[in-house]
Structure 1
Amino acid sequence: MVIGATTLARRVCASLKESGNPVDHLAAPDDQDLRRALAVPPSGIAVLVGDDLSALRYALAVRHVCDTVRIVVTVFDRTVAQQLRLLLPDCVPVSPADLLAPTLAGLCVDPDALAVWDEGQGAVAVRPQEDRLVAAAWRASPAARRRAVLGRLRGQLQPHDADARLLLIGLLGIVTVLVLDWIWLVGAFHKPVSTAFLEAARVVAGVGPAAPHDGHPGYEVVSGVAMLVTVGFTALLTAGIVDRMFGPRLVGVLGPRVLPRAGHVIVVGLGQVGLRLCQTLRQLGVPVVGVEREPAAPNLRLARSMGIPVVLAHGEDREVLARLGLGRAGALAAVGSHELDNIAVAVAAHGVAPDVRVVLRAGEDEATAETRALLPLGLTRDIVRTSAAFVTAQLTAERAGAAPRRVVAGADCDYVELPGRGLVGWPVAAGDDCGHVPGGGERDGGRSVLGAQRPEAG
């Protein structure tokens, strides 16, 4: 049984039908519909709706009616997924974003790898070898690591946004005046270190030298000029601090959240897939910067707490990509939820840096496939096809002998990792016309609640 009207639900239903499995597909059932459909328990149920709240309610309702059936449910929030595992026996939460992130990360950091991930015991890369896939330890090349380190160092001295530049210019200006005045007092006048520091601080504070210096009019003139200049530096510092206090503060001035300037990966679209991709790249030690156009995007707070620098801008703006150092970046990943936007980002990226590696997320729009036939946009992976492969493998786990551990997305085929068998090619229906639910319905990210009216997807 498949529950949901998303593209993923239709693709899973079509794939199960192609493999000879009878499928009962319910788009948005209420409680009574579920009870009638579960009168004869199915061998498995896939809850593939667009938001975590609906997925949670459907999973609870299914388990209340039937306590033995295997449930595969798509959820994005990891807390909800953990609670589903604890509360419901034989329930498998699946996040399409988590499934695809290792594949997208592999394409960004290694042109020969199909996927790269790190589970705390060292990074692993999957590469094709003859007629099979082989997993081996992975580490970035020395040149890539060197570029990443230099890019981070350069980012400490080259702030991206205006408020950070004002703050840094004001701070460096004040410190420079303080140090130069202190050196003059200690070196030329042989003042004690502490006394020289006090006088230099008075100059910076704008209250003048501690005492006049007879026979040294040049110092007094320079001190007066320094006080006037410091007034301007103080104004810049104050403006930068105010902007940092009341602004979103998505990019740091110093520290781990500064924008890297070389050897980094630019991730355009900070939805669920983009956020998971940034996390995976950070785990691999690859510097990353996110680009999000919506100031109220819910994942901005999470990105900030994870130390991921984010720029609020349109990723298809060539000037933005140039400011982010696309020509010195390792790759660009366009992973927004709308494929046409990803195409626009890819075209702009090719215009700014034709040689940069571009990775695109696809899955719900035929325009992506058509455009790939006309223009070599980059490395494209279908999130719906990959998720459908993993879900169908979970639903037929008993027939396969064991539940799959992960899925690796190839260009033309997806590979499911089965215990004792390794990565096995897993066929999926080419289209999402399952015959039960018409296409063009609820997209991923929509909302449907048991027995309630479904509002428009946000």
Structure 2
Amino acid sequence: MSGLPRQGDALSYIGEHMVVCGDDGLAHRLAAELREVYRQQVVLVVPADQVEAQPAGQPADSSSDDAVAPVRLVTAQAPTKEALLRAGVDRATALALLYEDDETNLRAALAARRLSPGLRLVVRMYNRKLGQHLEELLDQAALVAAPGIDRTVLEASTTVLSDADTAAPALAATAVADTNKVVQADGLLLRAAERPAPGRGEVPVPGLCTLALLTSTTADPAGSDGSEASGTRGPELLPDDRTVRGSAGRGTVVLEAVRREGPALPARRLARRGAPLGEVFSARLRWSLAGIFAAVVALTVTTTVLTDADPLHAAYLTLLDLFSINDPALEESTTRQVLQLLSGLVGLALLPLLVAGALEALGTFRTTGALRRPPRGLQGHIVLLGLGKIGARVLARLHELGIPVVCVEQDPDARGIPLARDLGVPVVLGDVTEDGVLDAARIRRADALLALTSSDTTNLEATLAARALKNDLRVALRLYDDDVATAVYRTLRSAHPHAVTRSRSVSHLAAPAFAGAMMGRQILGAIFVERKVLLFAALLVAGHPQLEGRTVAEAFRPGAWRVLALDTARPESRSPDLANSSHDDQHPSLLWDLHPGHVLQAGDRVVVATTRRGLAELLGTPAPSAARPREPSEG
């Protein structure tokens, strides 16, 4: 790894640092994220064969940014106690264990907890149930090892994450809103949307709030000219309303919820209970039964008119004749005999209809647990390729957003198949590289394609095939390697300049969530605004004189921080980690439309958007470096 000090320098620390241990690209990406976004001193522990791997987004020459120490390197085949001590875990503030083997991460986490009971641990686990037990175990171990440890520190001491869970929100946002600048809070996806300055007579589209004023002008809404070209100091973060109103010709970055504009999610054909009659029996069968009923009514009326029987007795006789359980009318009139014969003929027609109805009902209820096929009239949906670990998480997230999805999966026993069956999502079983599979998924009428299989070649082949069927299709494909993802993105963008293409690696998407967890559970995420960074955090008002006892308007400091939302949940029922909590549409926890005059109380918890320096002031920690981070790589 060029530009990184070797392990001989790893013992020379300046203040507190963070340690990242791993054996794949996620470790390199996380180290770069911590250094570039949060300006942290990082020690990276990797196997010797990973030394030459250059993490995407990490500067090859760290000397160009001397305000933050470069990532230091320790080589070790396994995270043993000796390797952790060489990395300075006993003096570190946080440790990330990102090995692909759960057992390796488990052993290292237990060893690290013994070395430093108050260490903040972030552990990557594929087994989610084991991860939940591991959190409880490590927190209990910290309490036993250090009985006097602060409970607030203990609550954030261990965080177990899965790269699939952390990457799913960004992948869903890429398919829906064409962005990966997202923050998840209380299960709600928030994005930073860049908007050009409104023209004369145009009304700006409102958002939750204005996060920044761009350095760009109306002629350059995307900000490609940069701060030097515009002659300003750069984007203006967290401006007040007066500054926004007076910023004629400048683009803005607004915070808004990721929502779907288009057709709503189609209802399931069969509910779990009370399936409608029209879904159980076919229209032809219903019309046949209606004809039988009309014949019975006609025979009853005829019997009433031509015989001495009253209507109720006539209906009874007709039904007996219909089911062939009445005595032959040998001693009765010719009219009665003819009516009995007609009733018998109607009964002969009724018998196969009853059998057909029973078979149809049985078949319908048996197919309630089977996979649905894409409806013929479906359009404006998202085609999701792959229902493995990543695909299943993305499917659940898209369904929560109410977005119509059609899944394509080759393996009928894939992890996401039961989820798709339970949600009633249409699934096409087949190899996506074969002819006709994408057509069966209605790709020509789809809005976007998400290629999330575990094979890079399959994802790329499916993307090219989909492009051939629909040139303007929005595509996001998952690729394992960051360099390959960037190359594919640039090539597809050149070949199809009028279509949106995004190539993402899971490590690229998961690293921000792991970095936020290493900074503490109060960090919800970070978003780049040109060459600056905005952080989102959930803070308790108590102990912060800048917030406690002040109104929302008074607590707003332009350019430093801004209160966005209030947690309305009771303190005992609050989620300890808003970034990974589920969203309840009926009873949301966060209130975003706050009145400027609302007074913040000591027991409140608020979500704030803040700069790095602003967060350092709020938390009472040393201010981070003012050096500007590099912009994240495209693709």
Structure 1 length as normaliser, TM-score? 0.67
Is the CA contact (8 Å cut-off) linking 2:517 and 2:523 kept in structure 1? Answer: yes
**In 2, Cα distance between the equivalents of 1:31 and 1:202?**
90
Aligned partner of 2:338 in structure 1 is: 214
Is the CA contact (8 Å cut-off) linking 1:389 and 1:428 kept in structure 2? Answer: no
**1:414-454 Cα shifts (integer Å, max 9, x gaps):** 966343454889658979xxxxxxxxxxxxxxxxxxxxxxx
1:279 deviates by 2.0
- In structure 1, the gaps of 5 or more residues are 158-166, 432-458
Q: Structure with the greater relative contact order (CA < 8 A, sep ≥ 6): 1 or 2?
A: 1
Q: Which amino acid aligns with 1:294?
A: D
Residue pairs, 1:140-179, within 5 angstroms:
140-141=260-261, 144=262, 147-148=263-264, 152=266, 156=269, 173-179=284-290
Aligned partner of 1:49 in structure 2 is: 99
1:24 aligns to what SS in structure 2?
A: strand
1:375 aligns to what SS in structure 2?
A: helix
**In 1, Cα distance between the equivalents of 2:377 and 2:631?**
39
**In 2, Cα distance between the equivalents of 1:215 and 1:341?**
70
Aligned partner of 2:254 in structure 1 is: 134
Do structure 1's residue 405 and structure 2's residue 556 form an aligned pair? Answer: no
Is the CA contact (8 Å cut-off) linking 1:11 and 1:388 kept in structure 2? Answer: yes
Question: Which of these residues, 165, 170, 194, is aligned with residue 98 of structure 1?
Answer: 165
1:278 deviates by 1.7
Q: 1:306 to 1:196 in 2, by over 3 A?
A: farther
**In 2, Cα distance between the equivalents of 1:79 and 1:201?**
63
Q: Which amino acid aligns with 2:511?
A: A
Residue pairs, 1:309-458, within 5 angstroms:
309-364=426-481, 366-376=483-493, 378-392=501-515, 394-395=517-518, 397=519, 404-407=523-526, 417-419=535-537, 420=561, 421-422=609-610, 427=630
2:408 aligns to what SS in structure 1?
A: strand
Aligned partner of 2:124 in structure 1 is: 74
Is the CA contact (8 Å cut-off) linking 2:26 and 2:511 kept in structure 1? Answer: yes
Is the CA contact (8 Å cut-off) linking 2:370 and 2:421 kept in structure 1? Answer: yes
Is the CA contact (8 Å cut-off) linking 1:148 and 1:263 kept in structure 2? Answer: no
Aligned partner of 2:570 in structure 1 is: none
Is the CA contact (8 Å cut-off) linking 1:106 and 1:116 kept in structure 2? Answer: no
Question: Which of these residues, 15, 24, 34, is aligned with residue 6 of structure 1?
Answer: 24
1:336 aligns to what SS in structure 2?
A: coil
Is the CA contact (8 Å cut-off) linking 1:125 and 1:137 kept in structure 2? Answer: yes
Question: Which of these residues, 268, 276, 294, is aligned with residue 411 of structure 2?
Answer: 294
Q: Which amino acid aligns with 2:255?
A: A
Aligned partner of 1:264 in structure 2 is: 381
Is the CA contact (8 Å cut-off) linking 2:482 and 2:508 kept in structure 1? Answer: no
Is the CA contact (8 Å cut-off) linking 2:292 and 2:346 kept in structure 1? Answer: no
1:267 aligns to what SS in structure 2?
A: strand
**1:242-273 Cα shifts (integer Å, max 9, x gaps):** 6x49xxx45259xxx99992333222122332
Q: For structure 1, which segment, 279-288 or 412-421, has the greater mean C-alpha deviation from structure 2 after superposition?
A: 412-421
Do structure 1's residue 186 and structure 2's residue 297 form an aligned pair? Answer: yes
Is the CA contact (8 Å cut-off) linking 2:383 and 2:448 kept in structure 1? Answer: yes
**1:86-112 Cα shifts (integer Å, max 9, x gaps):** 443412333333333333222322347
Aligned partner of 1:440 in structure 2 is: none
2:70 aligns to what SS in structure 1?
A: coil
**In 1, Cα distance between the equivalents of 2:471 and 2:327?**
62
**In 1, Cα distance between the equivalents of 2:434 and 2:611?**
39
Structure 2 length as normaliser, TM-score? 0.51
Q: Is the radius of gyration larger for structure 1 or structure 2? A: 2
**In 2, Cα distance between the equivalents of 1:23 and 1:363?**
23
2:170 aligns to what SS in structure 1?
A: helix
Is the CA contact (8 Å cut-off) linking 1:390 and 1:404 kept in structure 2? Answer: no
Higher share in helix: 1
Q: Which amino acid aligns with 1:346?
A: T
Q: Which amino acid aligns with 1:374?
A: T
Q: 1:139 to 1:385 in 2, by over 3 A?
A: closer
Counting aligned pairs with the same residue, the percent is 24
Q: Which amino acid aligns with 1:417?
A: L
Cα RMSD between the aligned structures? Answer: 4.8
Do structure 1's residue 108 and structure 2's residue 154 form an aligned pair? Answer: no
**In 2, Cα distance between the equivalents of 1:56 and 1:320?**
42
Q: 1:8 to 1:79 in 2, by over 3 A?
A: same
Aligned partner of 1:60 in structure 2 is: 110
1:8 deviates by 0.9
Is the CA contact (8 Å cut-off) linking 2:90 and 2:115 kept in structure 1? Answer: no
